[in-house]
Structure 1
């Protein structure tokens, strides 16, 4: 299985974000309070609606039709200005739960609530979203609260992508590759993380 990198141009016209939840909801048979049991495995599925492009431009997106391979697509965060994050890396192996300790950031660097980041661990990317803002201390370390649980314990010094987070997964819901009467192609597809 190969990992195919999709183009970054043009940027998507629309990018709905969905959670593929691994939680378990317990509903009492005779009434009472429901409980949600969080489990590892909740991941993201992003649907990309591309602006109309010429047929020749659309040929660059042919990797969407690859079967058995995963694709890598940049997560777009329009209007979010992301300053240079330095060389962010995981600080300490074996982390678990809903927070991630990062080092290699400039002192005072802020990761904003709702901002996406990806962790490259053992050759695979995992997409996460900050649950709250986090500020790097004077040593360039920050503990980022995550919206979802870490799906796999990262290794020490795994790369953390903040400036250009990426989603890696299988292509789902690829619509028709049709050329309209205006001779333009409009693509829509979902990239769903595999793990």
Structure 2
């Protein structure tokens, strides 16, 4: 199971990026360019933590980053200045789903899902980060189909958890996780990259 990274020190900067495994097929003799979409698009985030003078706090974070390189790590995926409200207790509605839509249940009636709003799908104890591709409003009964991106990378089971109120990104740690900076004031700085596994 992926290791939950500590809440402190907090990120000073957060740079998410979408990783696209598709591509354009450009014919050599001047025909029409075609787009080839492949399964496996996912997200990564580059994190720079706020420098701290609390050595015990920094060493605990470093320890989890090093373990996260081998075992995987997870952390909240912030959506700054986006009031989330009460989306409800969302679950996958029905098994065998695939592609760019996801039917969910348990949504609060009238809840407005915003275009670009992130959520994590929890399947077999692992989180997959997605976003809502088209704004939607939950109907009475709380069952609706959301257009999502990227395409589903796994076929979720009926009842799998959807973390809409507090999405998480989970993957392997890369970047400068094996080192840290210590300046003349004794401030310790950390930075790393967290990339979804697939």
Q: Shorter-normalised TM-score: what interval?
A: over 0.9
Is the 2:2–2:73 Cα contact (8 Å) retained in structure 1?
yes
> Quick one: distance in 2 between partners of 1:15 and 1:4?
19
Q: Does 1:52 align with 2:54?
A: no
Q: What whole-Å deviation, never above 9, does each CA across 1:21-50 have from its counterpart, x for those lacking one?
A: 221321111223321111211111111121
> Quick one: distance in 2 between partners of 1:122 and 1:170?
17
> Quick one: distance in 2 between partners of 1:60 and 1:134?
41
Is the 2:120–2:162 Cα contact (8 Å) retained in structure 1?
yes
| Unaligned segments of structure 2, at least 5 residues | none
Counterpart selection for 2:99 from 97, 100, 120: 97
- Superposition TM-score, scaled by structure 1 size: 0.93
> Quick one: distance in 2 between partners of 1:84 and 1:194?
29
> Quick one: distance in 2 between partners of 1:191 and 1:17?
9
The corresponding residue for 1:155 is 157
Counterpart selection for 1:193 from 187, 192, 196: 196
Identify the structure with the greater strand proportion. Answer: 2
Is the 1:11–1:76 Cα contact (8 Å) retained in structure 2?
no
Q: What whole-Å deviation, never above 9, does each CA across 1:119-171 have from its counterpart, x for those lacking one?
A: 00011110001112121111112322112100011000100001110011000
Q: Does 1:178 align with 2:181?
A: yes
The corresponding residue for 1:120 is 122
More deviation, 181-190/163-172? 181-190
- Superposition TM-score, scaled by structure 2 size: 0.92
Report the CA distance shift for 1:143/1:177 in structure 2 as closer, same or farther (over 3 A). Answer: same
More deviation, 67-76/24-33? 24-33
Q: Does 1:82 align with 2:84?
A: yes
The corresponding residue for 1:35 is 34
Between the two proteins, the alignment pairs up a number of residues equal to 194
Q: CA RMSD in A?
A: 1.4
Is the 2:9–2:51 Cα contact (8 Å) retained in structure 1?
no
> How far off its partner does 1:193 sit?
0.6
Is the 2:9–2:57 Cα contact (8 Å) retained in structure 1?
no
